[in-house]
Amino acid sequence: MFFSSIRQKPKELVDIQELIIDRNPSHSDQLPTVCLDLDNTLLYVVNKRSHMRKGGPANIKPEWLGRCIDVAIDDRDPTMQFSILARPGSIELLVQLHRYANPVIYSSVTEEFIESLLLTLSIAQGDPDAEDYSDKRAEGAGVCMDLYSWSRKQCIQTQKGYKKSLGHFCEHNDLGINNVWMITAKPELVDITNRTVAVPPYYGDPDDRALFKLMDDIFIN
């Protein structure tokens, strides 16, 4: 494990109530760093076999499975191949954060999964070197390929799951904690909860609008 214990809250931590990102910041403003969780936040990992069996999990409808994106860490190993449902608004959120903040993936999944996922999403969004790079989909491709990430290796293993440490993230990257946030469906698995932006957990619904509402809430101007 990357480190073994949960660090104390930084002394300089200030209680700020909400994340607000200005689309027209002054030159002196430091862009916020926004960490994004993956599982049940930006995507839902699907076990197709269990969902297709009669009596499979009830939180997903069979017709949603047609939207699945296949992610393969190793094409030769079936256990290293996954299907995901990307949450509506996930690419739009990444594009907006790339323009006006510093987005980072911080997830409890493996480093190999994150790398394969970002490559797959960039391909799905289009070639960033194409002539129509200004297109939103092509811009999304570039964003996906540029994302800095932390994985399970940088989490703390607890009885409740893998816990993310924003305190350690800030220390390692020489960042002030008051300008770092985490968007997640599991704020209880983040060491500094008043630096989290909680969203409802995502289970594959194509009509989910939580990330669009989030963008309305956090972006101004």
Domains of the chain, each with CATH number or no CATH: 21-42+88-220 (3.40.50.1000)
| Whole-Å CA distances, 170 to 81, 141, 164, 207 | 32, 27, 12, 35
pLDDT score, position 146: 87
Contact 195, 168 (CB under 8 A): no
Nearest to 45 by CA among 20, 21, 69: 69
Predicted confidence (pLDDT) per residue in 169-209, tens digit: 999 999 999 999 999 999 999 999 999 999 999 999 999 99
3-state SS of 92-150 is HHHHHHHHHCEEEEECCCCHHHHHHHHHHHHHHHCCCCCCCCCCHHHHHHHHHHHCEEE
Predicted confidence (pLDDT) per residue in 86-123, tens digit: 999 999 999 999 999 999 999 999 999 999 999 999 88
pLDDT score, position 1: 39
Contact 116, 71 (CB under 8 A): yes
Predicted confidence (pLDDT) per residue in 56-89, tens digit: 455 778 888 889 999 999 888 888 889 999 999 9
Instruction: Enter the pTM of the model.
Output: 0.86
Q: Which two tokens stand for residue 81?
A: 């191949």
Contact 182, 97 (CB under 8 A): no
pLDDT score, position 9: 53
